[in-house]
């Protein structure tokens, strides 16, 4: 019996952000000083020595450049700034969701008005609205009622929305999507 144990559960180390100091694998680097001035191209060990002398780190900013561009700065501050930038980008993202409003060909006026009011509210918040008119049984012989209902919806929401996909049949239901102007 051998003592060989395959290491199935070997942990892979995640990359810890940008390379800094001894983790940089280039011989020569383009160095930007802590004040933002270009110090030129120099050997890696000299650049690390300069950074240590200032009490800061040498951080690889642009690894794909030839030679790689490195900056003398505090690693903690750099990571904090990167995180802050990512959070700002996430905050500015707008997710558009699709709200669905279901109707029937015989929907009464009060219910219809209530649903149109909700649709306008959804659109004002920047969401798309999907209108679905369901037909049951003999209502399928009066699809023109569904078409008239969709035209009425388009007419009543034209001041806040435009039609993204025109009314079309999908089986026993008519579907239309409107989006904000």
The pLDDT tens digits for 3-47 are: 666 666 666 666 667 888 888 888 999 999 988 899 999 999 999
Nearest Cα to 69, choosing from 49, 99, 44, 93? 44
Does the pLDDT at position 96 exceed 90? no
Asked if the bond preceding 67 is cis, omega within 30° of 0, the reply is: yes
Instruction: Quote the pLDDT of residue 91.
Output: 85
Q: Is the pTM of this model over 0.95?
A: no
Instruction: Quote the pLDDT of residue 4.
Output: 63
Write the CATH number for 104: 3.30.110.10
Q: Round to whole Å and give the CA distance between 134 and 175.
A: 9
In a shared domain, residues 65 and 121:
no
The pLDDT tens digits for 113-169 are: 999 999 999 999 989 999 999 999 998 898 899 999 999 999 999 999 999 999 999
Nearest Cα to 50, choosing from 37, 66, 39, 61? 39
Give residue 155's domain range. 98-180
Instruction: Quote the pLDDT of residue 92.
Output: 83
> Which are the contacts of 58, defined by CB distance < 8 A and separation ≥ 6?
20, 21, 24, 29, 31, 47, 48, 50, 51, 70, 71, 72
Give bridge partners of residue 69 from the DSSP assignment.
30, 62
Res. 181 pLDDT band, cuts 50 70 90:
confident
Q: Which of 78, 109, 125 is the last residue of a domain?
A: 78
In a shared domain, residues 168 and 112:
yes
- Asked if 167 and 150 touch (Cβ cutoff 8 Å), the reply is yes
- Asked if 17 and 79 touch (Cβ cutoff 8 Å), the reply is yes
Domain count, the chain: 2
Q: Is residue 171 assigned to a domain?
A: yes
Give bridge partners of residue 71 from the DSSP assignment.
32, 59
Give bridge partners of residue 86 from the DSSP assignment.
none
Does the pLDDT at position 95 exceed 80? no
In a shared domain, residues 59 and 131:
no
Q: Is residue 149 assigned to a domain?
A: yes
Does the pLDDT at position 178 exceed 90? yes
The pLDDT tens digits for 70-89 are: 999 998 898 899 899 989 98
Q: Is residue 68 assigned to a domain?
A: yes
């Amino acid at each position: 019996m051998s003592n060989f144990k395959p290491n199935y559960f070997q942990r892979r180390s995640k990359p810890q952000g940008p390379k800094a100091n001894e983790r940089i694998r280039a011989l020569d680097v383009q160095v930007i000083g802590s004040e933002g001035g270009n110090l030129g191209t120099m050997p890696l060990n000299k650049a690390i020595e300069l950074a240590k002398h200032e009490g800061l780190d040498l951080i690889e900013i642009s690894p794909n450049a030839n030679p790689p561009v490195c900056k003398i700065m505090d690693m903690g501050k750099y990571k904090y700034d990167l995180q802050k930038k990512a959070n700002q980008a996430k905050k500015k993202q707008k997710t558009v969701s699709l709200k669905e409003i279901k109707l029937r060909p015989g929907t009464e006026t009060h219910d219809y008005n209530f649903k149109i009011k909700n649709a306008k509210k959804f659109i004002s918040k920047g969401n798309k609205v999907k209108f679905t008119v369901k037909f049951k049984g003999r209502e399928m012989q009066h699809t023109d009622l569904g078409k008239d209902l969709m035209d009425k919806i388009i007419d009543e929401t034209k001041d806040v929305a435009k039609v993204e996909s025109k009314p079309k049949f999908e089986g026993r239901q008519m579907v239309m999507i409107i989006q904000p102007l």
